[in-house]
Copies of this chain bind each other. A is one copy, B any other.
Amino acid sequence: MLNQIQKKMENTINGLSITDQQLQLVEKLGLMFETPGFQPAAARIMALLMVSDRVELTFDEIRETLQLSKSATSNAINLLLTVQKIDYITKPGDRKRYFRSVIAQWKDGMKDKFKEMEKLGNVMREVLEQRPASTPEFNKNFSEMISLMEYIFQEIPKLFKSWEENR
């Protein structure tokens, strides 16, 4: 009976053991990471490195836990390395790399995301500048929307700053 629950709750494949609850969290987080342009495999790896009990995982632990092929694992890991969402450490007398989530990068990641949205505001202003005077109502609304965007994105860096000061 206890064995049955154990079987239901824990999936151990070669070293890394992970619960069903954790796997569900990996899927949920993974879905959220997919939207910012990551392929499913990469998104799941990012998620796994946040969810799993051990925070430094080898290539094979990742591969087997997520049931990926070597190529998919390799490509996803290298993608995440180049965008610096993960990095790795090595251990003396061990050839494997141990990959881990670069949490510090998340702050910069958020900043980048806001910067992206800010760019939209800039193009919008470009659009406004070339609009004809013949559509005053539209132009007014459009201009107001841009003002809002610009206000928000001017204030957001201040939020980062004030958070850093107050913690």
Q: List chain A positions with a Cβ less than 8 A from chain B.
A: 21-22, 25, 28-29, 32, 35, 37, 50-51, 53-55, 103-104, 106-107, 110, 113, 116-117, 119-120, 123-124, 126-127, 130-132, 134-135, 138, 141-142, 144-145, 147-149, 151-152, 155-156, 159-160, 163, 167
A114→B162 CA distance, assembly (Å):
19
Chain B residues contacting A21 (CB-CB under 8 Å) are 130
| B113, A117: Cβ atoms closer than 8 Å | yes
- Residue ID in chain B nearest A28 by CB atoms: B123
Closest A-B pairs by Cβ, 3 of them: A103-B141, A55-B138, A53-B132
A110→B150 CA distance, assembly (Å):
12
A103→B131 CA distance, assembly (Å):
15
| A50, B127: Cβ atoms closer than 8 Å | yes
Q: How far is the CB of A112 from chain B (nearest CB, A)?
A: 12
Chain B residues contacting A25 (CB-CB under 8 Å) are 123, 126-127, 130
Q: How far is the CB of A61 from chain B (nearest CB, A)?
A: 15
- Assuming the contacts A126-B25, A159-B152, asked whether A103 and B53 have C-beta atoms less than 8 A apart, the reply is no
| A156, B145: Cβ atoms closer than 8 Å | no
Chain B residues contacting A134 (CB-CB under 8 Å) are 53
Query: A151 contacts which of B106, B145, B159 (Cβ < 8 Å)?
Result: B159
Query: A106 contacts which of B35, B131, B145, B163 (Cβ < 8 Å)?
Result: B145
- Assuming the contacts A123-B29, A152-B156, A159-B151, asked whether A144 and B130 have C-beta atoms less than 8 A apart, the reply is no
Chain B residues contacting A131 (CB-CB under 8 Å) are 53
